[in-house]
Structure 1
Amino acid sequence: MSGADIILRVLAEQGVDTLFGYSGGAILPTYDAVFRFNESHAARPERQIKFVVPANEQAAGFMAAGYARASGKVGVFMVTSGPGATNAVTPIADCNGDSIPVVLICGQVPRAAIGSDAFQEAPVFNIMSACAKQVFLVTDPAKLEQTLRTAFEIARTGRPGPVVVDVPKDIQNWVGQYHGQGTLHFRGYSDRLRLVANGSRLDEQKGAQFFDLLRQSERPLLYVGGGVIAAGATAELRQFAERYEIPVVTTLMGLGAIPAQHPLSLGMLGMHGAACANYAVEDCDFLIAVGARFDDRVAGGRPDMFAAGARHVAHIDIDEAEINKVKRAHWSHIGDARQALRALMEHESVALSSAGWIGWVTELRQRHGMNYDRSNPLIQPQRVIEKLSEITGGRAIISTGVGQHQMWTAQFYQFTEPRSFLTSGSMGTMGFGLPAAIGAQLARPDALVIDIDGDGSIRMNAGELETASTYGVPVKVLLLNNRGDGMIRQWQRLFYEGRTFVSDKALHRKDFVMAARADGFEFACRVETPSELEAKLKAFVAFEGPAFLEVMIDQNADVFPMVGPGQSYSNMITGPFIPSRSDQVAGEEGAVRLQAADMF
């Protein structure tokens, strides 16, 4: 069969049921193979592969990422050469930063034309190598099948990530044998996987060392990242926390690893984390990191000041490169989080005297919990998120763009399940929310999927409103409109003497509701007063098809708490509505202003 048909055969073998992509000359043979594959399965529609065409290739990548994040399966997108491939760089880098398993299949000019500056030629291997887990340029057609199968294996194993396969057009047209088995042999990668697998079982000595540290501790704290969700370890995490009575703080990517309402959950930590979570980090004497990497939005620019009071740090991660990269660990284990937590619980059941510590963090939660201006006559964005969480019971799949709305969602939506919060964490990519929601809805058609977006973020991929209505994808888009790039404006108010250069969009003329209606949304309306908010939110959630709701929020609403550049959690700015432990708030704000340039 042709190389293009081999590609489709491997995709079907790998369980791919949905593809995202935009056409072009160098990928046309494979697109034609999709058509013929589906035509050959006309009698069995369940075996066909759905193909979704977005407005641009970047959105195709975010759809594949949303599909993967919501389902745990490998997301797949397919683009043409040249600008098609370069438009896919951002989603590949985004998936690499957040450890999301996707496979990108790129068309490429024929092998004989590579290096000749042919029409729509781009050096995909060179460009993508810097931001993908693995990149393949197929030059031997006999290895096409094994290369594709290997791409899926690499994407999903170990620390998940994006894999790119660049396939010249002449190889797509080549005719050869399909074997139905076989992968490429990567000795180094295979050896690392084998070492992790063999070493993932904790021996007696190492387990004893961990519990020696735990016994010495009076104030242990679990610091949980997205690796717990990727490993499917949320049940084990909850069991571990409950057995040893250890409070839990989560990263942005770890939200949903433990239900927000769980008595041991303190919420998100970090730059915009809950004050109670950050203060617990300050107070703990044993920090146990699981599937987290001490990134700068958690540990800040001074990792030595992060959890400075902890006498010991333990770190469990599947990627050896993360151990001691930012924060020195006194005890570490390289392996799958699920297996590691199970092994620790099988090793020993230690009785801890934790009543005092649990009482302390409970008081932190009560005294320094999230809050905002509840008496303001303007619509407060935090209230919108709170009400949405109440209406949905915290059980919707939520995607976001990037900015203030992203942080308000992380702070005020009460996530109860893993894989229910989809956001661009490491890259912070505006425009992520809407296409990711479409991908998530296609992965989990029975779920309620809501994109909570900002007017700045949604502009970047607003063309995907038409994609949602064209394919009848019943996503809900909740737009919090503050007429500007709110997070940038907040920084400018705090650190740049109020000079809101380029961040104020009050002069922009886009009517988002009219745009949604033009793109086929039958439900598209606006909320401008607090009195109409609840009723319209309920109607928005209940609507059966794609729905769009724009809420005009207070333009001066800010995200608090906030840890300034170069500061520790003890210097956190909690704002006017969350009590701070410090009596020096004004002085601290002045100090962080001087170091604002270090943040971006």
Structure 2
Amino acid sequence: MKTTEVSSLFGSLETNGVEIVFSSNEEELLDCAKHSSLRFFQLKHEQGAVHAADGYARVTGKPGVVILTTAAGVANGITGMTTAYGDSVPLVVIAGPLLDKCCNSSFQEFDIAGVTMPITKHTFYVNNFSELEAVVRPALTIAGSGRPGPVLIEFTPNAVSRPPVKLGPRHGKESKPKTVQRSIELAAKYIESARKPVLFIGGGAIISGASELLTEFAQQARIPVVSSLMGIGAFQAADPLYLGMLGMHGTFAANKAVHHCDLLISIGVRFSDRTTGKVSSFSPKSKKIHVDIDSAEINKIIQVDLPIVGDAKEFLCGLKEQVHVEKIRENTEIWVNEVTKLKRTVPRFEKSNSILSPQTVIRMLDEFSSGDAIVVTDVGQHQMWTANNYTFTKPRTLITSGGLGTMGYGLPAAIGAAGADPTKQIICVSGDGSFQMNLQEIITAVSYQLPIKIAIMNNGYLGMVRQWQEMFHQRRYSAVKITSPNFAKLAEAYGAVGFKASTEEEARQVIKAAFAQPGPFIMEFDVIEEENVFPIVPPNQGNDQVILSR
């Protein structure tokens, strides 16, 4: 790609409101970025670049933009695109042989659109830069509209023009379906007649911007709230009505409440297996309302009594006009007292054989961080410890890979989060297994002096897999014991600050020092090898089968 063409690309993005672009090593892009008002983040690996764009998108709600300039780069970015697709994250991926290369089975060429078709909402083909202006705006619109997701813009110079790729109800240009008034009226009747209602909120509640309305409705109507992992932050964790996360590693109170409720109001959720457990035993006594922007999610896993295809915020706006909250409060007072008592009295599952427990580390991070800190996690035990022990108060402050469960997501996504808002505290919680999958991006955090505080739980295992092998396969451990570098010294080698802690007192000192340091800071915490995440609902069991400890 010539300098003038790159400038044209950047100009088109700027014109359409893009503020930041992520990519990997490409000199043409880096040179042009110096003469553009666009902020340009150059990561060391394409997967990291896509995860960074994803982290930016989750924090801001705006589409993240990433440029991948070779076929190998696109292949490296597939994991990031799939992660974004699974969690409904808006991305615009600009890809193709952007350098001056022939496109007839040349070096580093493959069928980009064919490979990415199942994990994109829409694909645009651009054969020359004169077409770009007409493509960027609709790409950004499609990525962020309806149920968000990745959109691909593929440059195919010298190739035969091809029509845009468009698939199914989740793909292509979507318009937000309008919630049917009759359905809202019926939902209001269901809620007013319920004695044991529960609000189950997911990532869709955050994506739609429904958090404020949701909080107002739940508090006024006095309805207990549970969330999926992706819904954490939509409702304040400290509120007495919040029972916690639902599902395999959800709280005792949340699982019991959903199992015994007579009405489950599900908003922006997809009923994954980690949430429902055994489908036939999921909330067996309840009528079910399911509100989702994507019609394909309705009745896909859980059969519901009242399906509503629509935006969560629009639904709650309509519901507010229909329900009589005084009547609901009268009906639910006994129920609310019952389930909130479970939250207060059931043990917090803190038994630990560690001198330093991971739960304690998470609560210390919570203690020293500000109320609007952004917490990014990798995938594994540390992810669940964070979900259950950090007090989230705002939407878009927990950034994590839910649907795909992508190890290596945390650090590059934290870079994107820091790019989204450099004034916020950014905490990246990882494990010794996950962190090693994209640790090369330490140098990116150092280069840009990003305020990322990285907490690594080092237990010498792929902990979540090891826990399953211990609990459900009679400790037949296989391929879960791992080795790691000294992360504190590795930080120093990359030019960051790093310290190690093995006791609570050391942990307190290290965390305090980390938040006093302006740039990236790596904290390594030694925890016992066989520390488990509790509670846990065994696979293929009902939500009432909660195990509190080993």
Specify the TM-score bucket, using the shorter chain as the normaliser: over 0.9
What amino acid is the match of 2:46? E
Number of the residue aligned with 2:391: 414
1:418 is paired with a residue of what secondary structure?
coil
1:175-214 mapped onto 2 (5 Å cutoff): 193-194=174-175, 196-197=176-177, 199-200=178-179, 202-203=180-181, 205-214=182-191
How much does 1:158 deviate?
Answer: 0.6
Q: Please name the residue that 2:154 is paired with.
A: 166
Task: Work out the CA distance in 2 between the residues paired with 1:392 and 1:250.
Answer: 23
For the residue of structure 2 that corresponds to 1:88, the secondary structure is helix
Q: Find runs of 4+ consecutive structure 1 residues off by over 6 angstroms.
A: 109-112, 183-192
How far apart in 1 are the matches of 2:470 and 2:249?
17
Q: How does 1:258-407 map to 2 (within 5 A)?
A: 258-300=235-277, 302-310=278-286, 312-350=287-325, 351-352=327-328, 353-373=331-351, 376=353, 378-392=355-369, 394-407=371-384
1:125, 1:136 within 8 Å by CA — same for their partners in 2? Answer: no
Distance 1:543 1:245, change over 3 A: same
The structure-2 alpha-carbon separation of the partners of 1:90 and 1:37, relative to structure 1 and needing over 3 Å to count, comes to closer
Alpha-carbon displacement from aligned partner over 1:463-513 (angstroms, at most 9, x marks no partner): 0111100111121101111111111111111122212222112xx251111
TM-superposed deviation, 1:184: 12
Partners of 1:355 and 1:86 in 2: CA distance: 55
- Fraction of identical pairs, as percent: 36
2:436 aligned counterpart, secondary structure: helix
Question: Within 1, Cα distance between the matches of 2:491 and 2:171?
Answer: 48
Bigger drift between 549-558 and 185-194 goes to: 185-194
- From 197, 213, 221, give the equivalent of 1:236: 213
Paired amino acid for 1:348? V
Q: Is the 8 A contact 1:110 1:169 kept in 2?
A: no
Cα offsets for 1:28-67 (capped at 9, x unmatched) = 7xx35x634642x5xxxxxx11221112100000100111
Task: Supply the distance in 2 between the matched residues of 1:414 and 1:369 (Cα, whole angstroms).
Answer: 17
Paired residue secondary structure (1:480): strand
CA distance in 1, matches of 2:169, 2:534: 45
Letter in 2 for 1:337: A
Q: Find 2:537's aligned residue among 548, 552, 563.
A: 563
Q: Secondary structure at the match of 2:237?
A: coil
Counterparts in 2 of 1:504 and 1:244: CA distance versus 1, 3 Å: same
CA distance 1:124–1:407, shift in 2 (3 Å)? same
CA distance in 2, matches of 1:389, 1:121: 47
- Contact 1:291 / 1:317 at 8 angstroms: preserved in 2? yes
| 2:92 counterpart residue number | 103
Distance (whole Å) between structure 1 residues aligned to residue 33 and residue 464 of structure 2: 47
Comparing 433-442 with 539-548, greater Cα deviation is found at 539-548
The structural deviation recorded for 1:381 is 0.5
**Secondary structure at the counterpart of residue 499 of structure 1:** coil
Letter in 1 for 2:526: M
Give the deviation of 1:565 after TM superposition. 1.8
Change (3 A) 1:192 1:77: closer
Checking the alignment, whether the CA contact within 8 Å between 2:375 and 2:398 is kept in structure 1 is yes
Q: CA deviation at 1:7?
A: 2.1
Q: Select 1:147's aligned residue among 123, 132, 135.
A: 135
CA distance in 1 between partners of 2:532 and 2:339 (Å)? 26
Question: How much has 1:5 moved relative to structure 2?
Answer: 3.7
In structure 1, C-alpha distance between the alignment counterparts of 2:98 and 2:410, rounded to whole Å: 32
5 Å-filtered alignment, 1:24-173, equals: 31-32=28-29, 35-36=31-32, 38-39=34-35, 48-108=37-97, 113-114=102-103, 116-139=104-127, 142-169=130-157
User: Counterpart of 2:455 in 1: which secondary structure?
Assistant: strand
Which residue is equivalent to 1:528?
502
**Equivalent AA in structure 1 for residue 457 of structure 2:** L
CA RMSD of aligned residues (A): 2.4
Q: Using the alignment, how far apart are the partners of 1:514 and 1:19 within structure 2?
A: 31
How many Å separate the matches in 1 of 2:166 and 2:274? 37
Match 1:18 to one of 15, 20, 45 = 20
Find the partner of 2:518 among 521, 529, 544.
544
SS of equivalent residue, structure 2 residue 229: coil
Deviates further, 459-468 or 376-385: 376-385
1:222 aligns with 2:199: yes
2:321 is aligned with what amino acid? E
Please report how far the alpha carbon of residue 329 of structure 1 lies from its aligned counterpart in structure 2 after TM superposition. Answer: 1.7
Following the alignment from structure 2 to structure 1, what is the Cα–Cα distance between the partners of residues 33 and 509? 46
Residues 23 and 79 in structure 1, CA contact (< 8 A), matched pair in contact too:
no
Please report how far the alpha carbon of residue 321 of structure 1 lies from its aligned counterpart in structure 2 after TM superposition.
1.0
For 1:108, what is the secondary structure of its paired residue?
A: coil
1:87 match: secondary structure: helix
Relative to 1, partners in 2 of residues 1:138 and 1:170: Cα closer, same or farther, differing over 3 Å? same
**Contact kept? 1:255, 1:415, Cα under 8 Å:** yes
Q: Does 1:467 pair with 2:444?
A: yes
Quote how far apart the aligned CAs of 1:391 are.
Answer: 2.0
Q: TM-score, normalised by structure 2?
A: 0.93
Aligned 8 A contact 2:102 2:158 in 1: no
Q: TM-score if structure 1 supplies the norm length?
A: 0.86
* Residue identity opposite 2:324 in structure 1: S
Provide structure 1 residue ranges, at least 5 long, that are not aligned to the other structure. Answer: 42-47, 172-182, 577-600
Closer/same/farther in 2, CA of residues 378 and 37 from structure 1, 3 Å limit: closer
Structure 1 residue 393, shift from structure 2 partner: 5.0
Alignment check: 8 A CA contact 1:225 1:250 kept: yes
The offset of 1:137, in angstroms, is 2.6
Q: Taking structure 1 as reference, are residues 36 and 543 closer, same or farther at Cα in structure 2, changes over 3 Å only?
A: closer
Contact 1:111 1:170 in 2 (8 A): no
Question: Could you say what secondary structure the match of 2:427 adopts?
Answer: strand
Residues 189, 277 of structure 1: CA spacing in aligned structure 2 closer, same or farther, 3 A cutoff?
Answer: closer
Q: Give the drift of 1:130.
A: 1.3
Q: Structure 2: where are the runs of 5+ without partners?
A: none
Q: Is the 8 A contact 1:475 1:546 kept in 2?
A: yes
CA contact 1:146–1:184 (8 Å) conserved in 2: no
Amino acid at match of 2:343: R
Per-residue CA shift, 1:382-420, capped at 9, x if unaligned? Answer: 111112112225532100111100110011111111110
Question: Whole-Å Cα distance in 2 between the matches of residues 551 and 2 of structure 1?
Answer: 49
Moved more, 385-394 or 235-244: 385-394
Question: Are residues 190 and 159 of structure 1, via their aligned partners in 2, closer, same or farther at CA, if it must alter by over 3 Å?
Answer: closer
Distance of aligned partners of 1:141 and 1:565 in 2 relative to their CA distance in 1, 3 Å threshold? same
Name the CA shift for 1:188/1:324 in 2 (closer, same or farther; >3 Å). closer
Work out the CA distance in 1 between the residues paired with 2:256 and 2:139.
43
Q: SS at 1:287's partner residue? A: strand
Structure 2 equivalent of residue 176 of structure 1: none
Per-residue CA shift, 1:252-278, capped at 9, x if unaligned? 000000110011101101111111110
- What does the per-residue CA deviation read over 1:77-133, in whole Å, with 9 as the maximum and x for residues that have no partner? 11112211100100000000000011111122789944x421000110000001112
